[in-house]
Structure 1
Amino acid sequence: MSLVEQSVESDPDLSALGLPESLDEVDAAGLGEVVVRARRAGALMDWHRLRAMAEVFERLVAPYAEEDRRVYDAHARAANEIAMMLGRSQAGVETELMDAAHLFAGLPHVAQCLHDGVITGGHIRTIIARTALVGGQEYAPLVDDELAEALRRQGSWSLQRLRDERVRWFV
């Protein structure tokens, strides 16, 4: 039996994430808490996936960024490897690979918000698109700090609210 077949056959240990193995014993009042915990667990899984992709970028792409000028460069090779593993398009993975690198290198406090379940993976693409021009600027750490602080304030962050937010750190 292959490693892929083994991982598909074995269910994850949901109790490690604070989730019940079955909803049969959860009363109606407890279902809301399960939803909240599942959302946080999903955000944590998104954080781990993006963190691993950022690490792929740091190890396999960044060291060759200045010297690799071919069409099929280190970035394309890394994205191709991940795309084959996930069964996704290379172009989509190339974008996600760059997003992951931007998130963990340029917005570490925002990345921590994802880790902590303050926001979800769905929010990340909007945040990255709105902060793309900040990367590498001297004020980038300030943007990261202020954005993370705003995200941690009381209230929910729908994608619409995040898109419409008019604050000085979105460009």
Structure 2
Amino acid sequence: MSVDLSALGLPESLDEVDAAGLGEVVVSARRAGALMEWHRLRAMAEVFERLVAPYVGEDRRVYDAHTRAANEIAMMLGRSQAGVETELMDAAHLFAGLPQVAHCLHDGVITGGHIRTIIARTALVGGQEYAPLVDDELAEALRRQGSWSLQRACQMVCVR
């Protein structure tokens, strides 16, 4: 698979990049990584919407739609089904409950590690009438000038 790295703001080779330019490559690579994580989670959220959400009211204790979707993804990725089940729910929570925060990931403001922390800290917000307000406030805070360590993001989410 051939990827056009220039579309992501990355050089094909680092041979021609001077020492000062390497910092820009690191920043561009971080942003590109965040964008790829956004696409991965968006695809998982879409799997949830198409294969799980229509059957959420049914009780199939042994093999429900969520399990089936996670199983298919796990087989494709060579990962454990339990881990994918959690990720599938996280992706659904992110795109349905925190769309503005998801845009922060898309735009490279934060990374996949930040997203996992934010999702874990906001899981109980999903479906609440105040969820859009929480989403807006978190996204606004994330877009303020400065960098976000995982610890700082965790503290910010806990305080809100």
Q: TM-score range by the shorter chain?
A: over 0.9
Q: CA offset at residue 40 of structure 1? A: 0.1
Contact 1:106–1:136 (Cα < 8 Å) also in 2: yes
How far does residue 71 in structure 1 lie from its aligned partner after superposition? 2.0
CA distance in 1, matches of 2:78, 2:104: 28
2: distance between equivalents of 1:140 and 1:132? 10
Residue by residue over 1:101-160, the C-alpha shift from the partner in whole angstroms, topping out at 9 and shown as x without a partner, is 000000000000000000001111110111011000000000000000000011111111
Cα distance in 2 between the residues matched to 1:83 and 1:158: 30
- Larger deviation, residues 62-71 vs 107-116: 62-71
Name the CA distance, whole Å, in 2 between partners of 1:150 and 1:137.
20
TM superposition shift of 1:68: 3.6
> 2: distance between equivalents of 1:52 and 1:159?
24
Question: Within 1, Cα distance between the matches of 2:79 and 2:88?
Answer: 13
**Shift in Å at residue 70 of structure 1?**
2.5
Per-residue deviation, residues 33-78 of structure 1 (Å, max 9, x unmatched) = 0000000000000000000000000000000010142221100000
Q: CA deviation at 1:98?
A: 0.2
Contact 1:68/1:74, CA 8 A, preserved across alignment: no
**How many residues in Structure 1 have an aligned counterpart in Structure 2?**
151
Contact 1:43 1:121 in 2 (8 A): yes
Aligned partners of 1:92, 1:107: CA distance in 2, in Å? 21
Distance 2:77 2:11 in 1: 27
Q: In structure 2, what is the Cα distance between the partners aligned to 1:19 and 1:143?
A: 34
d(CA) in 2 for partners of 1:120, 1:95: 18
CA distance, structure 2, for counterparts of residue 53 and residue 117 of structure 1: 19
Identity of aligned residues (%): 95
Equivalent-residue separation in structure 2 for 1:29 and 1:155 (angstroms): 21
User: Which of 73, 95, 110 is matched with 2:86 structurally?
Assistant: 95
Deviation at 1:80? 0.5
Structure 2 unpaired stretches of 5+:
153-158
With normalisation by structure 2, the TM-score equals 0.93
Q: Which residue of 1 aligns with 2:109?
A: 118
Structure 1 stretch displaced more, 66-75 or 26-35: 66-75
Which residue matches 2:23?
32
Task: Describe the SS at the equivalent of 1:109.
Answer: helix
TM-score w.r.t. the length of structure 1 is 0.87
Report the counterpart of residue 157 of structure 1 in structure 2.
148
